[in-house]
Structure 1
Amino acid sequence: MPASDARLVLLRHGETTWSAQRKHTSRTDLPLTELGEAQARAAGLVVKSLDLRDPLVFTSPRLRARQTAELAGLADIHVDDELVEWDYGDYEGVTTAEIRETVPGWTVWTHPVPGGETAEQVGARADHVLDRAEPALADRDVVLVGHGHFSRVLIARWGEFAVREGRRFAMSTGAVSVLGYDHGAHTIWAHNLTHRTEGDLR
């Protein structure tokens, strides 16, 4: 049974050249930019301020996520292949604006991704990640270091929303979200925290 004050913390990796250009980045293994490295270190200050209980840390295998975990000063880091970003298939390296030139109104939340993962597949993967993480919350807080869209899916599924509702939870590079419990129910305690908004739980 998870502790009532247990926290599941999501940390999105810092900036990369492609994220700065708004390009969909899944399998392409890019390093952090200089700004991304600074964002990762700043995220570490946010996580430290949470005073987590002996945190258990899982990170996506992608370089940008692993660098973020390390620069944030996190310890006891385990690589988890299920934390990779939504597979964008044919849209890898392409911006939403470019996709909309041929598919008006396209979003990853509402339209197919040719050659990539469906919303159902990503949702099932997120559910499995959460099912594996939740038992650890009985004794320790858990930190998941990953990617923008997949972190938003994790938030939606934790809140018992459909995958498409992840579109409501925009997440900046190097930002932190805090999930947990309120009277036994899954809740979102804080979202999209950066060092500039540390402690702001509005």
Structure 2
Amino acid sequence: MPHYPELYILRHGETEWNAQGRMQGALNSPLTQKGREQAMRQGEILSGIDLTGFDIITSPQGRAFETAAIALARQVDHLHTDTRLREIGVGTWAGKLRRDLAEGRDVVEGPDGALELYEHAPEGEGFAALELRCAEFLESLTRPSVLVTHGITSRMFRVLATGNKGENLVNIGGGQGVVFHLKKTVQKRLD
């Protein structure tokens, strides 16, 4: 059973492309007003938690970095970036509407879209490569950490940190404007 340091994991707030149902991957879209409010809500959740001794690490992608800045501005002096926290690559499907990509496919829409699309994106990263990237990152952690990342990447981190490697990414849950706390393989959603 894996044992990683204590983690708080945040997904970035809603972006314009999230609201439109577009695949983002490596591309960036600005936070909406709702997305900024979600980041402020995450900041409220974290304000009651002593983050002394925690590393604060964010994806360098604009939407995650902006969320981290809003959510953590009152508690931390420095945000560190790590490319391993970036969103899963979606190849040639970046910028395309999920509904168009799902047409004629057997997919299930969820809060982060149809997860099957992320696995099958032409020239995309795929779940196996994402799992290797996320596992390597988690193994490198030496201190408790706050991670600000993306929908699919957050799910993979949490599946690995809970030791539910066989668990479907759908079942681990998702959402924006919330914080996931992981300690000793137990996940708790903080709203």
Which TM-score bucket, shorter chain as reference?
A: 0.7 to 0.9
**Aligned with 1:177 (options 171, 175, 180):** 180
Task: Decide whether aligned partners of structure 1 residues 162 and 7 sit closer, same or farther in structure 2, where only a CA change above 3 A counts.
Answer: closer
Cα RMSD (Å) of the superposition? Answer: 2.3
What amino acid maps onto 1:17 in structure 2? E
Q: Are 2:29 and 1:30 aligned?
A: yes
Q: Is the 8 A contact 1:123 1:163 kept in 2?
A: no
Q: Is the 8 A contact 1:109 1:119 kept in 2?
A: no
Task: Decide whether aligned partners of structure 1 residues 97 and 150 sit closer, same or farther in structure 2, where only a CA change above 3 A counts.
Answer: same
In 1, Cα distance between the equivalents of 2:138 and 2:49? 20
Q: Is the 8 A contact 1:119 1:164 kept in 2?
A: no
TM superposition shift of 1:87: 0.6
**Aligned with 2:89 (options 81, 87, 109):** 87
3-state secondary structure, aligned to 1:131: helix
Tell me whether 119-128 or 26-35 shows the greater mean CA deviation. Answer: 26-35
Q: Is the 8 A contact 1:156 1:162 kept in 2?
A: yes
Aligned to 2:124: 116
Q: Is the 8 A contact 1:12 1:148 kept in 2?
A: yes
- 1:44-63 aligned within 5 A: 44-63=43-62
TM superposition shift of 1:28: 1.2
Aligned to 2:103: 101
Q: Is the 8 A contact 1:119 1:163 kept in 2?
A: no
TM superposition shift of 1:167: 1.2
In 1, Cα distance between the equivalents of 2:28 and 2:41? 22
- Deviation by residue 1:9-32 (Cα, 9 ceiling, x = unmatched): 101111110111222211112221
Q: Is the 8 A contact 2:42 2:178 kept in 1?
A: yes
In 1, Cα distance between the equivalents of 2:162 and 2:26? 27
TM superposition shift of 1:163: 6.7
TM superposition shift of 1:187: 1.9
**What percent identity do the matched residue pairs reach?**
28
TM-score, normalised by the number of residues in structure 2: 0.84
Q: Are 2:161 and 1:158 aligned?
A: yes
Q: Are 2:65 and 1:66 aligned?
A: yes
Provide runs of 4+ in structure 1 moved above 6 Å: none
What amino acid maps onto 2:150 in structure 1? H
TM superposition shift of 1:55: 2.1
TM superposition shift of 1:164: 6.1
Q: Is the 8 A contact 1:85 1:148 kept in 2?
A: yes
Give the number of equivalent residue pairs: 180
- The runs of 5 or more residues in structure 1 that have no matched partner are 198-202
